Amino acid sequence: MAAALTNQLHALVNNMFATGLLDEQFQQLQMLQDSSAPDFVSEVVTLFCDDGERIIGELARQLDQPNVDFDRVDSFAHQLKGSSASVGAQQVKNTCIQFREFCQQRSRDGCLKTLDLVRTEFYDLRNKFQVMLQLEKQIQACYPKH
Amino acid sequence: MARKMIRVLLVEDEEIHRVMARAAVKAAAGAEDDDVLDVAENGAAAVRRVREVAPYDLILMDRQMPVMDGHEATRRIRAMGVTTPIVAVSSDGLPADVEAFIGAGADHFTPKVSQATRQCRPCDACMRHGQQYMIDLCK
């Protein structure tokens, strides 16, 4: 049972790397997890997912204003770029870089199109992260602590 | 003789980066379990902590923060005569960003991504600097 779950987990994570969702920074995160911080990756991934959802909501609100404050939009895009870079979320990070370019150009249309793209990419990644964390919990449950 | 603990001040407004920085400081060469990591959530809080709390051996300074940003906080800390090593940390890492930080008085610059790995040379250098500083104090 544990072996099958582990294979599923490895296949999922390998696929996330192969499709460009994740980059080597995620491997660096995994290397920082040890016996003194056994839930480090889970903690960081959860923070990323929670922050990402909040920031995307803020971006939508800001772009819905009659007079868009592009500096404020850029600040939120910068935040999302930073957290995605830190967690290894390559695809989301790259889209945030594009987003910021549209902010510099003061292009509401460009920002709205990129927001749609970042939203789709973020939720795809979040779903996969949730599956990943669920598989890890199931694997840990196969080895009860005494 | 065991060295005294090293006090690090992390200046960062976002929780995810605080978690990452804690891991980076812990992973840095020379770090020990008793070393203290204090947190300030913006530049103004950082300036207050530096003024009011026992001297720090290392300051990790984010750039973009509410209330007061990292550049201004670095300038004000240096204006107080504080010589604690300051490692500037930013997601951007643009040359202008690096220049502004070094111009404000930071000693090193590291992008956030490389900060949160086991290969953060500025963190390693500053932890060793902090360690040497404490060894010098013990003499």
Architecture per CATH, domain A2-15+51-141, reads as: Up-down Bundle (1.20)
- Does residue B133 carry a pLDDT above 60? no
pLDDT of residue A146: 60
The separation between CA B37 and the C-alpha centre of its own chain, rounded to angstroms, equals 10
- Answer whether A25 touches B (CB < 8 Å): yes
Q: Which helix (H) or strand (E) holds A7?
A: helix A2-18
pLDDT of residue B37: 86
| pLDDT value of residue A104 | 95
- Cβ pairs bridging A and B (under 8 Å): 55
Stretches in chain A below the pLDDT threshold 50: none
| CA B102, B87, B120, B132 torsion-angle sign | positive
User: Tokens at residue A25, please?
Assistant: 């920074």
Burial class (CB within 10 angstroms; exposed 0-12, middle 13-18, buried 19+) of B4: middle
Choose between B26 and A51: higher pLDDT. Answer: A51
Nearest chain A residue to B62 by CA distance is A82
Phi first, then psi, for residue B49 (nearest 5°) are -65, -40
**Residue A73 touches chain B, beta carbons under 8 Å:** no
User: Which residues of chain B does A81 touch, with a Cβ-Cβ cutoff of 8 Å?
Assistant: 91
B120: pLDDT strictly greater than 70 = no
- Could you give the percent of chain B with pLDDT greater than 70? 73
Is B32 touching A (CB cutoff 8 A)? no
pLDDT at residue B102, rounded to an integer = 93
Identify the pLDDT of residue B106: 95
Cβ–Cβ contact B18 with A under 8 A: no
- Per the model's pLDDT, the better-predicted residue between A116 and B18 turns out to be A116
Say yes or no: B94 contacts chain A, CB-CB below 8 A. no
Least confidently predicted of A37-51, B107-121, B122-136: B122-136
**Which residues of chain A are within 8 Å of residue B26 when distances are taken between CB atoms?**
36-37
Residues β-bridged to residue B78: none
Decide if pLDDT at B134 tops 50.
Answer: no
Q: Does the ipTM surpass 0.95?
A: no
User: What are the residue ranges spanned by the domains of chain A?
Assistant: 2-15+51-141
A85 and B19: CB-CB below 8 Å?
Answer: no
Q: Which two tokens stand for residue A59?
A: 């971006």
Query: What pLDDT shows up at residue A35?
Result: 80
Specify the pTM. 0.83
> How confident is the model over B40-79, as pLDDT tens digits?
999 999 999 999 987 999 999 999 899 999 999 999 999 9
- Each as own residue / partner, the long-range contacts of residues A107-110 (CB below 8 Å, 24 or more positions apart, any chain) are A108/A63, A108/A68
- Say which range, A14-28, B23-37, B88-102, has the weakest mean pLDDT: B23-37
pLDDT in the model for residue B119? 45
B89 vs A6: CA distance, rounded Å: 36
- CA-to-CA distance for A137 and A129, rounded, in angstroms? 12
